[in-house]
Amino acid sequence: MRHSLPALDATFQITLTGFSFLVLSALLGYICSPHLDTAPPRWVHLAHGLLLFLYQTFDAVDGKQARRTSSSSPLGELFDHGCDALACAALALGSTLMCGGWTLCFWVVAAVPFYLATWEHFFTNTLILPTINGPTEGLMLIYVSHLFTFFTGAEWWAQDFRKSLPFFGWIPLPFLSEIEIPLYVLVLILMIVCAVIPTVRSNVSNVQEVVEARKGSMALALAMILPFIVLLAGVAIWCYLSPSSIMRNQPHLLVIGTGFNFGYLVGRMILAHLCDEPKGLKSGMFMSLVFLCFPIANALIAKINDGSPLVDELVLLLLYCAYTGEPEHFHFHTCVLNFTYKI
């Protein structure tokens, strides 16, 4: 495919075009299922699979195009990985498997390996991918699942796993006999156990090996993960205390705002790597997390006031998306462009 692209085509355009496919997929999911808890028309799943395949293809081609046209640059790396970080949110929103508030959990499953891989790259200067990895086989499995859902319908994933997979009914599970567990929850657990945990262990092991070889501090290395942990903890506390159940009623806004937050953290770490900054915690990464204090405080006040918050949570969600989105990213990328221009 890369040979069919004009040599003068900007790599940025290829990256942005690929990312736009996932944005379109997320928008389609919102139109057909605003709360991600109803089954969309089956053709939507086919569209999701096709759009995800196009994103994967363009994401693979942009690097080859950059090398072919000798246009590889640190700024291109920042832009490419920044789009990929935001794509985690769009990918989760495009699932439309009737998982409602669990959509945020699927975003976490995508975000954790991505952040740890970026963190690992910061120390090793190498993007180490296992033989079976998320950007290739993982995405392929997802769009194959979309194709499968085109034939079965989203209801297949939302019903009890023993109905979707009858052979599990023969396995004696006395402690689960009275509990109805949707199939997508079982899939989520399998993804965590079989993919996320082994990947994280590998990331930490590789970083520890490099840090020990350089006589560095593993504590300083692990400190760079702290902003991401604070993000996950802050959003989890907000969802737990929320008087209006934002995770169930406003999954799109919650994932979008948190996705913007995540994109900033990833971008800041990539910038630190490109500028060869000292290893350790970057206090500027907490800028994007400050806003979370307000909705958490608002939810705590609602607990005291018998469920009546000072500010409507929908307003706070919109402000959250606005704060973590346009102004913050505009300021960040303006600083990067100015820095690059001076160089």
Task: List pLDDT tens digits, range 37-74.
Answer: 888 888 999 999 999 999 888 888 876 776 666 666 66
Query: Which domain, by its residues, includes 278?
Result: 2-342
Task: Count CB atoms within 10 A of the CB of residue 198.
Answer: 12
Q: Which residue has the higher pLDDT, 288 or 211?
A: 211
Pairwise CA distance, residues 196 & 201, whole Å? 9
- Reported as a single tens digit per residue, the pLDDT across 246-282 is 988 889 999 999 999 999 999 888 888 877 777 777 7
Q: What domain count does the chain have?
A: 1
Instruction: Dump pLDDT digits (tens) for 137-190.
Output: 888 888 889 999 899 888 898 888 888 888 776 666 666 667 788 889 888 999
pLDDT at 276: 74
45 is an active site residue: no
Residue with tokens 């915690």: 281
In this prediction, residue 67 carries a pLDDT of 67
Q: Please tell me the pTM assigned to this model.
A: 0.88
Q: Region 88-105: what's the mean pLDDT? A: 82
Neighbours of 136 (CB within 10 A): 13
Q: Are 36 and 104 in contact (CB under 8 A)?
A: no
Residues 81, 146, 252, 273: which is the catalytic one? 81
Who contacts 107 (Cβ-Cβ below 8 Å, separation ≥6)?
Answer: 88, 89, 91, 92, 255, 258, 259
Nearest to 23 by CA among 93, 122, 75: 93
Helix 326-342 × helix 74-93 angle, to 10°: 160
The pLDDT score that the predictor gives to residue 109 is 93
- What pLDDT band is residue 8 in, cutting at 50, 70 and 90? very low
Strand partners, 182: 160
